[in-house]
Amino acid sequence: MAKRAHSAKRREESLSRERIVEASIELLDSSGEEGLTFRALSERLATGPGAIYWHIANKSDLLTAACDAVIARTINETVVTAPEATIRAVALGVFDVIDEHPWVGSVLTSASGLSPIVRILEPIGQQIRALGVPDEEQWAAVGALMAYILGVSRQNAANGQLARTRGLDRSEFLEAVSTAWSHLDPEEYPFARSIAGQIRDHDDRVDFLAGIDLILKGIDSPRRRSRPQHKYVPGTL
């Protein structure tokens, strides 16, 4: 009996947490959150549920670990340059990874305060500090960027999933929306009608970065106003 228990323990230890997490990511990508069960994971890893529970307590912990692994790779691949360029790179990295792994968006929302969120918040916060934002304004600045990045990224991924589920072609869908908006009542919807043509050819990633730039300009505006203004005096530099 002791020998059998020892063998079982060795099998549990030989199945690393990393292998479990990578297999979970594969299942999540192919079947979504509903498809990630300990039974399905056991079959993929050719092991028993007990060996998985040795490393992961429950499905919530498993989802967080999988999300954390994906986000960690994304952040680690970000090249740190000037503060604003780094913020854009982190934001776009998160946007792209949620587009590639739609389940990451919902896990990030439910894992508020845990490691995956902190991995995104930390580099953004460091760059906000590097921009010279006063201490008392840093949380609001980071919060605005985090809300925008996570919200827009998740919505973009949801739109993509909906289109795939319904078998919609993106260009055809946008063409239909553009046509519908162009026929709206001009007195009730003047703005929507005016941008109907832009809907047809817009780029989601470009629009996303434009929003980041708007937030960064808003963060920088108070600092620009507070800087001393030097008047030009003829004959001086």
Tell me which fold the domain 1-56 belongs to.
Arc Repressor Mutant, subunit A (1.10.10)
Cβ distance 73 to 22 under 8 Å? no
What is the distance between the alpha carbons of residues 98 and 158, in angstroms, rounded to a whole number?
Answer: 10
- Percentage with pLDDT > 90 across the chain: 67
3-state secondary structure 64-80: HHHHHHHHHHHHHCCCC
Q: What is the mean pLDDT of the segment spanning 208-224?
A: 85
What is the distance between the alpha carbons of residues 101 and 103, in angstroms, rounded to a whole number?
Answer: 6
What pLDDT, in 10s, does the model give residues 149-189? Answer: 999 999 999 888 877 778 878 888 888 889 999 999 999 99
| Count of C-beta atoms within a 10 Å radius of residue 42 | 16
> In this predicted structure, what is the pLDDT of residue 233?
45
Residue 102: what are its φ and ψ, rounded to 5°?
-55, -30
pTM of the full predicted structure?
0.82
Q: Where are the alpha helices (DSSP H) in the chain?
A: 2-14, 17-35, 38-45, 49-53, 59-76, 83-100, 103-110, 115-130, 135-165, 170-182, 190-194, 196-201, 204-226
Two tokens, residue 92: 């776009």
Buried residues in 95-115 as b, exposed as e (16+ CB within 10 A):
bebbbebbbbbbbbeebeeee
> In this predicted structure, what is the pLDDT of residue 30?
93
Reply yes or no on domain 68-223 having CATH 1.10.357.10: yes
Q: Which of 33, 107, 31, 29 is nearest to 64 (CA)?
A: 107
What pLDDT, in 10s, does the model give residues 179-207? Answer: 999 999 999 999 999 999 898 888 999 99
In the chain, domain spans: 1-56, 68-223
Q: Which amino acid is at 222?
A: P
What is the distance between the alpha carbons of residues 147 and 143, in angstroms, rounded to a whole number?
Answer: 6
> In this predicted structure, what is the pLDDT of residue 222?
54
> In this predicted structure, what is the pLDDT of residue 229?
47
pLDDT classification of 223: cutoffs 50, 70, 90: low
* Dihedral, 108, 112, 115, 121 alpha carbons, nearest 10: 90
Cβ distance 90 to 75 under 8 Å? yes
